[in-house]
Amino acid sequence: MIKMILSGVNGAMGHVLQDVIGAAPDCQIVAGFDLKDNGDTSFPVYTTYDQCQEDADVIIDFSHFSAFDGIFGFAKKRKIPIVIATTGLTEENQKTIEAGAKDFPVFKTANMSLGINVIAQALRQIAGTLEEGFDIEIIEKHHNKKVDAPSGTAILLADAVNDGLNAKKRYTYGRHGRDCKRTEDELGIHAIRGGTIAGEHTVLFAGNDELIEIKHTALSKKVFANGAVTAARFLVAQKPGLYSMDDVIK
């Protein structure tokens, strides 16, 4: 039985994770972290990290990026493998992750969907073929409560495109206020927010008289919860290091 701690347990993704883990015969939630304890869980929920004394095999973090230092510090101190699913982290946070991964297993990806990560691999392979004569744009859509823009997944896909190109593109975030035509070295990234969209990402290759679209649509948050649990199962068997969904796919 894999014992799990959930960070951000009372958030939208936390509730989805509770359902997914509750249905998994090999996983068990032993504790949770959140700013507030709503009192209706079968496991203890702590508002501060030093309160938690439960033993765990892995932590899944779907909290707000402002909570990163606390949860990562807790994981590092206890040497508990951690799956980081929080978006909006800074470059300084990334350096902290890379340093900590030398001491214990850390899993970090911009999107927990297996499908998104397969698309990223495909983009690395095809981008070079479409480098000449095609303009590349990324459009991402999310619900109206998402606070960071563009999404981490949009950047993940943009980076995958650049990995496959000989001449790297520079990222252009929207075009409001720009009174000039598009340049060949641009990769446009555009964010849309509205309703309850779980997540939609389109990579558009626009050439002369032809369009190629590679699109992924998440129909619910469950796809991300399933991916996080898959990552957790993978991570508990690993040595110290920094891992991503690419390692799971391989």
Find the catalytic residue in 3, 15, 146, 222.
Answer: 146
Neighbouring residues of 169: CB distance < 8 A, sequence distance ≥ 6: 136, 158, 161, 162, 185, 186, 187
Which residue out of 76, 141, 142, 169 is catalytically annotated? Answer: 142
Say if strands 210-218 and 199-207 run parallel, antiparallel, or are unpaired: antiparallel
d(CA 223, CA 109): 14
Q: Report the alpha-carbon angle 170-175-181, nearest 5.
A: 80
Is 79 an active-site residue? no
Q: Where would I find the H helices in 101-151? A: 114-126
**Sheet bearing 210-218, strands edge to edge:** 170-173, 186-193, 135-142, 199-207, 210-218
Residue 250 appears among annotated catalytic residues:
no
Neighbour tally for 239: CB within 10 Å: 7
Q: What is the maximal distance between C-alpha atoms in the chain?
A: 62
Catalytic positions, please? 142, 146
